[in-house]
Chains A and B, each alone.
Chain A
Amino acid sequence: MSEPIIRVSALNKIYEGGFQALKQIDLDIQRGEIFALLGPNGAGKTTLISVICGLVNATSGQVVVDGFDNQADYREARSRIGLVPQELTNEAFETVWNTVNFSRGLFGKPPDPEHIERVLKSLTLWDKRHNRLITLSGGMKRRVLIAKALSHEPRILFLDEPTAGVDVGLRREMWDVVRQLRESGVTIILTTHYIEEAEEMADRIGVINNGEIVLVEDKAALMRKLGSKQLALHLHEPLDSVPLALAAYDLQLAANGSELIYTYDASRTGGAEGQESSTISALLADVEAAGLVFKDLHTRQSSLEDIFVDLVKER
């Protein structure tokens, strides 16, 4: 595996009042990936991003960006990063064109109107380039923040809650933008409250809680490992209790006895389809042998949201 584009080592942040927001964080972000950082409110997501980007001083530990220490070589490190903050923070009376060009200059790059034009067009902001920011909708302002972050051609893009307060249609458009950016070689780290967003977009997922990284895992592997599956049988006649003949399957009754639920761990089956289906075949045969008739059946797999809630609850 190539050298990570960001390496966070033994990072701690204790705020003035004594609150420890980050506890001994170790994290590697790989080149070209979309990494989703999940965590409940106050978990330390924004503090972690802020330390990496230079907005907050770390108490101890090290952040290396593309081989450059973000303190000792801050110019090199920061020039590689674009940050889209959570809040819609803008110079309200400035125009889109001016504010995006300002950002490019601020990051030490010479003017490049062609690049800014490309960025604005890719974010469908070109028609609004002469508009003052105060006149834009929330979604458009969010796009302006992305355009500002992309103005200096960063290799890494931090998106802190990129689709907060954005309607569903616009959210999907944002996801497309993020995917296009990844295709162009930009590494993307996003924090989000929308588990659906992480599930939809991320290659890897990190969960942070109480200032600690709870896990970092490939998304598909995570869902395989921690996701549980359920088979629900809709019975013709409701039951008072689970028949003794089916006790081995640890079934539950639901919907006033008219649903028989079989829960199994995806990790137990290890994704081996043969083993999984043979267990289910045996169950169905035993159900029939017990004289139960079902009129319908369906399966469901736990979502990332369920996994996340379970993980955070465990802590």
Chain B
Amino acid sequence: MNLYPVRAIYMAELSRTRRTLLQSIVSPVISTSLYFVVFGAAIGSRISEIDGISYGAFIVPGLIMLMLLTQSVSNASFGIFFPKFSGSVYELLSAPISYLEIVIGYVGAAATKSVVLGLIILATAGFFVPLEIAHPLWMMTFLVLTAITFSLLGFIIGIWADGFDKLQLVPLLVITPLTFLGGSFYSIDMLPPFWQGVTLFNPVLYLISGFRWSFYGTSDVSLAASVAMILLFLGVCLALISWIFRTGYRLKP
């Protein structure tokens, strides 16, 4: 593996983040703070504790996951979509660089940004609710694995999309609803039995549940199921990307 091209892509992507610091970092932090104000302070004070955790603290992992998933997808998808849109992708395709190096560069940068954002949001949450992290190593593992997996998904979306509208389609119509319905703001025990069963088909539930377990030691599904689900996601995304580069789908005519 040649590290120079990986570094070039990685640094260029991070440099783009620095140029757009306001929308990259500040706006997700502000919107998350609003969630804490509304759900944590205003509404949360009227909701009883869940599994012995105050409602404000309970939603912290879910909110971080919500931002992590949407930001990973949008960062990585925009990163590869923009060169396609501007035409500068010619340079990437004509460079002596392997597909693996391209993916590591783009996905690595997107995941880095998401992880940093996740940690900033975690720190922000500390201003609103008392925080405890029972399993910090697991917390970081979930954070990094989820950021990588959803950055891979974003990369796939960026290659698939042939317009800005499609770029927004999956985050808005798939990721956000699945995250909201995946237990970001509630435990599935609070749902009627039928909807508990339906929710178990939502893959994002497993990610949020595992992440929440790393904070408070309680979860909707087992830790093993959560880890298996994220590894399954990762495998599917890697297989798709491998197919894309093998066939040149939407990259090489």
A contacts, CB < 8 Å to B: 15-16, 53-57, 74-79, 81, 83, 85, 87, 89-94, 98, 101-110, 148
Residue numbers in B under 8 Å from A110 (CB-CB): 4
- Which residue of A has the minimal Cβ distance to B20? A93
Partner among A57, A90, A101, A107 whose Cβ is within 8 Å of the Cβ of B95: A107
> For the complex, is B86 an interface residue (Cβ under 8 Å from A)?
yes
Residue numbers in A under 8 Å from B91 (CB-CB): 83, 103, 106, 148
Indicate if the CB atoms of B253 and A57 lie closer than 8 Å. yes
Indicate if the CB atoms of B94 and A87 lie closer than 8 Å. no
Indicate if the CB atoms of A85 and B90 lie closer than 8 Å. yes
> For the complex, is B97 an interface residue (Cβ under 8 Å from A)?
yes
Residue numbers in B under 8 Å from A74 (CB-CB): 96
Partner among A56, A101, A107 whose Cβ is within 8 Å of the Cβ of B5: A107
B contacts, CB < 8 Å to A: 2, 4-5, 7-9, 11-12, 15-16, 19, 83, 86-88, 90-98, 248, 252-253
> With the chains together, A133 CA to B106 CA distance in Å?
22
| Given A57-B248, A85-B90, A89-B90: A106 in contact with B253 (beta carbons within 8 A) | no
- Which residue of A has the minimal Cβ distance to B10? A105
| Given A78-B95, A79-B96: A105 in contact with B8 (beta carbons within 8 A) | yes
Residue numbers in A under 8 Å from B16 (CB-CB): 93
Residue numbers in B under 8 Å from A56 (CB-CB): 252-253
- Which residue of A has the minimal Cβ distance to B102? A106
> With the chains together, A85 CA to B83 CA distance in Å?
14
Residue numbers in B under 8 Å from A79 (CB-CB): 96
> With the chains together, A75 CA to B98 CA distance in Å?
8
Minimum CB–CB distance from B138 to chain A (whole Å) comes to 36
> With the chains together, A83 CA to B4 CA distance in Å?
19
> With the chains together, A55 CA to B92 CA distance in Å?
9
Q: Is the interface of B mostly helix, strand, loop or mixed?
A: helix
Indicate if the CB atoms of B96 and A102 lie closer than 8 Å. no
Indicate if the CB atoms of A108 and B86 lie closer than 8 Å. no
| Given A16-B253, A89-B87: A54 in contact with B2 (beta carbons within 8 A) | no
Indicate if the CB atoms of B87 and A76 lie closer than 8 Å. no
Partner among B5, B15, B93, B253 whose Cβ is within 8 Å of the Cβ of A108: B5
- Which residue of A has the minimal Cβ distance to B93? A55
Residue numbers in A under 8 Å from B87 (CB-CB): 85, 87, 89
> With the chains together, A53 CA to B90 CA distance in Å?
9
Minimum CB–CB distance from B13 to chain A (whole Å) comes to 10
Residue numbers in A under 8 Å from B88 (CB-CB): 89-91
Minimum CB–CB distance from B32 to chain A (whole Å) comes to 27
**Shortest beta-carbon contacts, A-B, top 8:** A105-B8, A89-B87, A78-B96, A75-B96, A79-B96, A53-B94, A108-B2, A89-B88
Residue numbers in B under 8 Å from A103 (CB-CB): 91
Residue numbers in B under 8 Å from A105 (CB-CB): 4-5, 7-8, 11
Residue numbers in A under 8 Å from B2 (CB-CB): 75, 108
- Which residue of B has the minimal Cβ distance to A92? B86
| Given A78-B96, A93-B19, A102-B12: A109 in contact with B90 (beta carbons within 8 A) | no
Residue numbers in A under 8 Å from B248 (CB-CB): 57
> With the chains together, A92 CA to B88 CA distance in Å?
10
> With the chains together, A141 CA to B19 CA distance in Å?
21
Residue numbers in A under 8 Å from B98 (CB-CB): 75
Minimum CB–CB distance from A6 to chain B (whole Å) comes to 14
Minimum CB–CB distance from B96 to chain A (whole Å) comes to 4
Residue numbers in A under 8 Å from B8 (CB-CB): 101-102, 104-106
Indicate if the CB atoms of B252 and A57 lie closer than 8 Å. yes
Q: List 26 A-B contacts (CB under 8 A).
A: A16-B253, A55-B93, A78-B96, A79-B96, A81-B94, A83-B94, A89-B88, A89-B90, A90-B86, A90-B88, A91-B83, A91-B86, A91-B88, A93-B16, A94-B12, A98-B12, A102-B8, A103-B91, A106-B4, A106-B8, A106-B92, A107-B95, A107-B96, A108-B4, A108-B5, A148-B91
Indicate if the CB atoms of B97 and A108 lie closer than 8 Å. yes
> With the chains together, A288 CA to B184 CA distance in Å?
103
> With the chains together, A208 CA to B235 CA distance in Å?
46
Minimum CB–CB distance from B74 to chain A (whole Å) comes to 18
Most B Cβ at <10 Å: residue of A76, A92, A101, A107:
A107
Residue numbers in B under 8 Å from A76 (CB-CB): 96
Minimum CB–CB distance from A155 to chain B (whole Å) comes to 13
Residue numbers in B under 8 Å from A91 (CB-CB): 12, 83, 86, 88
> With the chains together, A15 CA to B252 CA distance in Å?
11
> With the chains together, A289 CA to B249 CA distance in Å?
75
> With the chains together, A94 CA to B8 CA distance in Å?
13
> With the chains together, A102 CA to B97 CA distance in Å?
13
Residue numbers in B under 8 Å from A55 (CB-CB): 90, 93-94, 252
Minimum CB–CB distance from B164 to chain A (whole Å) comes to 16
Partner among B9, B12, B83, B93 whose Cβ is within 8 Å of the Cβ of A54: B93
- Which residue of A has the minimal Cβ distance to B8? A105
Residue numbers in B under 8 Å from A93 (CB-CB): 16, 19
